[in-house]
């Protein structure tokens, strides 16, 4: 009986994860490039139409855009939507504890960023 309950729970979790991925609710694909006691650098790929969910930034962050992109930013407090465009090499700063709003890639192809987290 316990094995049946465990198997059912596992199947439910897998189904939920797959459903979230198909609906674009999963976190964007991330590739760790470097991590040590002072910094963590990840390459993040934003797929077209797939939203990056809101979160609170755990560290100070530098974001470096690697590709041309156009994305929608939805303000978490007001719900206001703004569209932003970035060019390769553009750099932005975010403070630890800052709200990272929902972002949606409005382009027709993926774009990449480097997220540099200062520890």
Look at residue 119 and tell me whether its pLDDT is greater than 80: yes
pLDDT tens, residue by residue, 45-88 = 999 999 999 999 999 999 999 999 999 999 999 999 999 999 99
CA distance linking residue 102 with residue 106, whole number of Å: 13
pLDDT tens, residue by residue, 34-51 = 999 999 999 999 999 999
Q: Between 7 and 70, where is the model more confident?
A: 70
Look at residue 101 and tell me whether its pLDDT is greater than 70: yes
Please name each of the domains of the chain with its CATH number.
28-118 (2.60.120.10)
> What is the C-alpha R_g of the chain?
17
């Amino acid at each position: 009986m316990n094995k049946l309950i465990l198997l059912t729970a596992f199947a439910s979790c897998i189904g939920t994860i797959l459903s979230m991925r198909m609906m674009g609710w999963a976190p964007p694909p991330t590739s760790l490039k470097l991590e040590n006691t002072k910094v963590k650098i990840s390459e993040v790929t934003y797929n077209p139409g797939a939203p990056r969910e809101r979160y609170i930034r755990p560290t100070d962050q530098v974001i470096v855009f690697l590709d041309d992109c156009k994305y929608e930013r939805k303000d978490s407090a007001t719900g206001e939507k703004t569209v932003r465009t970035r060019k390769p090499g553009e750099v932005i700063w975010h403070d630890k504890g800052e709200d990272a709003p929902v972002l949606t890639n409005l382009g027709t192809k993926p774009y990449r960023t480097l997220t540099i987290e200062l520890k």
